[in-house]
Structure 1
């Protein structure tokens, strides 16, 4: 039975004749080569500078006037976890699902990778120890800081990495009173001197960081230090100008962050809120560009949320914690409902009744390290239940796993000859010429079409991929059409990764799949133009725990000219 042959045709064609274009004529996303030369040059110079940083004499250049006291202490805007803090008080450092004892850490017996080490060296966990609220927590935190200062006097590629350094400076300044209260004068003197040394290095090394959320973090750190360290107020005007510039460059007109990663969106918004807060504390006028950026970014943060309150998994994001997202939105104090379309960032959102579809309609950002090759992928949820997902992001040490999670096949989209639509590099960047992505959103009579295409396979295979997704006015009928247009025969697979809570069963000789959601409701996927099968998959919604799941794969081979596959997801009545 050609069950999906009417997808986006027959019953929809009449409506298509009268459809209203609500956003724009098909927009063209910029090619990835733009601004790449400058960023690559910046990165190359940093690697040369590292030779100087690790030299035996470099530490002497960080000497300077020793601060006697802080002129102000920034407010801590984000709540800590007393449960995590209690573990730290007891000597257990747990990051990225891996625990190391303080004793093992002190003698170098920890088997950890750069991501884990970055969490440790950032001191983000000081807010958790502060949340415990006991003198024992304060004393233990001070011990950890003292041990760190002894063990990290020389430059190290992780502990002195600009983004990690920026986080640590902000955390030490914010929690200076918590750490120092009751300490002897020797600790206070060394503590402030160490902060000053770190700031001097950050002023040098921070300039090499590519434009993105890490550079925003560095600018925040330099503002904090300029306001808190004596004789540093002269640096404030320069950093405020940098904030104003970054607010325009990094927060796009639709509110999306240039890294196109929901987690980066939240981090950027948190940085902007922190900067606004510290400027208010210092009674310095808030730049209009900063406030406008916050007002734009907050609705876009809502855009990325599924019905369960967590983030969709695009470009390295994790689900995150819904309560934390709520806190960020509350702190932003910016009104605005979730957008339906983010043309500058490259995403579309269709929310009808209980059904939500979020589609990636943009080329991967060359800015964000760890960008994924998931162009034209989509996620779908029903109420609080995730149904179609991307596989997520891997934060562990295994390079093979990291590359696999960034691959096109780890996303709910079409893959040609098991090749990525973009070149994925081990250093976390996107290589190759990239692709042009065109997208158009159309609405009529409560129905929505998303029409998108990319030419990421043109250079390697001589073909282009077009995807059309249709959601009807009830949200109970979601249909799609994937078209390959070009020369030659190529194997393709259209992947629909399922959330682990969804149970799937294959019926009708590969033409239909039944899906059972946690609330016992049922959906049916039908297809034509390819053979459907169920295969194993994995899900890394939190970036740490690997969960087994399944994926629907529609397989076939393209022919000369246009090859079309149609599929439909329909809610089963009465279930």
Structure 2
């Protein structure tokens, strides 16, 4: 490993040496980046600022590319993916803003390690080429020549960085950047050869057998499909046949992307994902897929998707993603989301890039799970990776035409508390009857809370032993046995900003003894059963 790292540094140093060959002043091949842009963000960019999460930041217009932005903001800014926003705005001012910022980078790029990260560099090169016609085609020859020098230079560095360690879908972004560099400078055959060499391996480690990405995230699935779709467009512009694996993987990932949406056409909120607009998702699928197919099961991806009547139930039924694919993962093992028609009822809380919010939103308490003794089923390190996770997660699904049953369990609380949590879920009555049973077994009773986070569009009223949910003109009733129920204030960020809402919290009571195990140790069992049902008109 030490030798490999030293060799990679030597390759990068060699790639950074000045080129003797004269650079042409325009790319040989171009393509159009078809990613959806945000017009509102484009207007902010023209005004010299941008918004990430819930904060506004200033652009480096005339002060160079140095700045004290947070790392995740730098990754977004240095990637130039925001050229999509300026292109979507499409005004003359947007074109000049894009050209000015690219020219400033070409003249004086920041001396920042984040700017040299493979995925960031790949997104930057692909963005420059994908929006070249929009913002650079009418620039001066000197500006275009300088930009081409940077494309050639950064393409060499990117080629030297490969292969990358596992980076989730961002590994595809690095490869797409290398393909973009080849399009601009096709005489650099090494760019294309490196792409061909590492693309199959990236596909093998990123995309699971059922088409789910290893990140196990709807948002990561979206980004993966977008990267593959853009690669197809690039091969079309090159008038070359794509690698056989590329259309095959695109055909595998699109049905999964469609399957990860509720009835409103937006994402289920798991593992760093928010709802995202249905229009964005559908626009990508329209570009990327040949047939409207939906994945019926995700055994390797670990999500259970149950559709019955007009209702939909999503369950996170396996371990969190492996290291390298877990930077956005949440401690939401066995969490679920439930919707009826286009109306979300029970939801996880969402995700955001704000450092002060990330830890709380990644914790188990921000999901529809049982939280034992106020700890999470997984822990996270300072680098964002998971440091502790459940060792065993079980899921058994049985069904008839009228109903579904799920038997689930995980041991994420066992190391700290010596307990195992089991959850049984039932969906029946044409999707209008959702029942659950949550059981904690261990050597002693533990304190726990079962949390049911409610979507902001639902009106909540507590009446005696019931909680009444008013959902788009319909009435749903929640009740439980075995715990102490309360309704608490809550926050939901799944639509990109904090929204006040409510959650149902069912706290534990004392359990009972159960039969001794093989070693003669008597165990304790605590059990809560609950029901959500639609009240007939």
> Does TM, normalized by the shorter one, top 0.5?
yes
Name 1:444's counterpart in structure 2.
400
Shift of 1:327: 1.0
1:517-544 CA distance string (max 9 Å, x none): 2x231111111111111122211113x4
Q: 1:310 aligns with which of 263, 266, 269?
A: 266
Shift of 1:60: 5.3
Q: How does 1:167-566 map onto structure 2 within 5 Å?
A: 167-366=123-322, 367-398=325-356, 401-432=357-388, 434-508=390-464, 511-517=465-471, 519-542=472-495, 544-557=496-509, 559=511, 560-566=523-529
Structure 2 distance, partners of 1:104, 1:145, is 10
Residue range with higher mean Cα deviation, 375-384 or 80-89: 80-89
Q: 1:126 aligns with which of 69, 83, 86?
A: 83
Structure 2 distance, partners of 1:213, 1:278, is 18
Distance 1:541 1:66, change over 3 A: farther
- The question of whether the paired residues in 2 share the 8 Å contact of 1:312 and 1:319 is answered with yes
Task: Could you tell me which runs of 5 or more consecutive residues in structure 2 were left unpaired when the two chains were aligned.
Answer: 512-522
Shift of 1:445: 3.7
Distance 1:390 1:82, change over 3 A: closer
Structure 2 distance, partners of 1:452, 1:507, is 31
Q: Secondary structure, in 3 states, of the residue corresponding to 1:481? A: strand
Structure 2 distance, partners of 1:45, 1:483, is 49
Shift of 1:50: 8.9
Stretches (4+) displaced over 6 A: 44-53, 107-111
Name 1:115's counterpart in structure 2.
72
Q: Secondary structure, in 3 states, of the residue corresponding to 1:538? A: strand
Distance 1:136 1:501, change over 3 A: closer
Distance 1:45 1:402, change over 3 A: farther
Shift of 1:119: 2.0
Name 2:104's counterpart in structure 1.
147
Structure 2 distance, partners of 1:223, 1:467, is 47
| Superposed CA RMSD | 2.7
- The question of whether the paired residues in 1 share the 8 Å contact of 2:11 and 2:160 is answered with no
Distance 1:102 1:288, change over 3 A: closer
Q: Secondary structure, in 3 states, of the residue corresponding to 2:383? A: coil
Structure 1 distance, partners of 2:352, 2:51, is 17
- The question of whether the paired residues in 1 share the 8 Å contact of 2:260 and 2:267 is answered with yes
| TM-score, normalisation: structure 2 | 0.90
Structure 2 distance, partners of 1:105, 1:471, is 59
Q: How does 1:25-174 map onto structure 2 within 5 Å?
A: 61=17, 63=19, 65-68=21-24, 69-102=26-59, 106=63, 112-154=69-111, 156-174=112-130
Structure 2 distance, partners of 1:83, 1:419, is 39
Name 1:570's counterpart in structure 2.
533
Shift of 1:226: 2.2
Give the count of matched residue pairs: 523
| TM-score, normalisation: structure 1 | 0.84
Residue range with higher mean Cα deviation, 78-87 or 342-351: 78-87
Structure 2 distance, partners of 1:564, 1:294, is 44
Shift of 1:318: 1.1
Task: Could you tell me which runs of 5 or more consecutive residues in structure 1 were left unpaired when the two chains were aligned.
Answer: 1-40
1:264-314 CA distance string (max 9 Å, x none): 000001111111221222232233322221111111111111122211110
Structure 1 distance, partners of 2:184, 2:484, is 64
